[in-house]
Amino acid sequence: MTLATITNPATPGDTTDVWTGLPFGVNPASISSPSGRTLPGTTLTYDPSNLTGTAAGQIGLGGFTRFNGAGGLFYIGDYQLFYNATRATGVYSGWYLQNTAGFPANAFDFANVSTNVTGSGFTLSGDLVPNSDSFFSLYGLTGTDMGNFSFTATAVPETSSALLGTLSMVGLLTRRRRTA
């Protein structure tokens, strides 16, 4: 979908206040973006013997969450999933999602993270929690558990004789609505 279609209030979509099981597609390294969007590519590399010590690049996730409220339309998505060891402080794991939809900004850090590296990839799951540098901190939501995230990456051999593989990944974002 183009950005104009996504941000059009007349576009059909989920009108509930609770979203669960929202899949965000994993983008290849090079991707064409629909009008008005900048889909991030996937460039993640890592050594399976030391995932967080060697993770470099990003995982590009395509998809949106749109909120219609009294303040108007608000949307986030087309995320970049990163690991940065300097963000691993307190409950935060160093894994975080950066929004690229409309404006680049940190959206969620991951807390209570569980990772499992196998010979064919890795899994990552945890809680989505805004950090103080997240745009959600403007709404007083720093440290609030906003939902869960799970992700599975598997190595897929290329059809050529090269020994390098590519990553085939599926991200799943679950958002829970918090009430005061």
CA dihedral sign of residues 133, 137, 142, 146? negative
Query: pLDDT tens for residues 93-151?
Result: 999 999 998 788 888 999 999 999 988 889 999 999 988 888 777 778 888 888 899 98
- Judge whether 108 and 134 are in contact, CB under 8 Å: yes
Residue 14 scores a pLDDT above 60: no
Q: What is the DSSP letter of 39?
A: P
**Contact partners, residue 111, CB within 8 Å, separation at least 6:** 91, 92, 93, 126, 127, 129, 145
pLDDT the model gives residue 21: 74
**Closest Cα to residue 80, out of 66, 103, 97?**
97
Query: pLDDT tens for residues 153-165?
Result: 876 544 332 222 3
Q: How far apart are CA 148 and CA 52, in angstroms?
A: 20
Domain range summary for the chain, segments of one domain joined by +: 19-175
Query: What is the pTM (predicted TM-score) of this model?
Result: 0.78
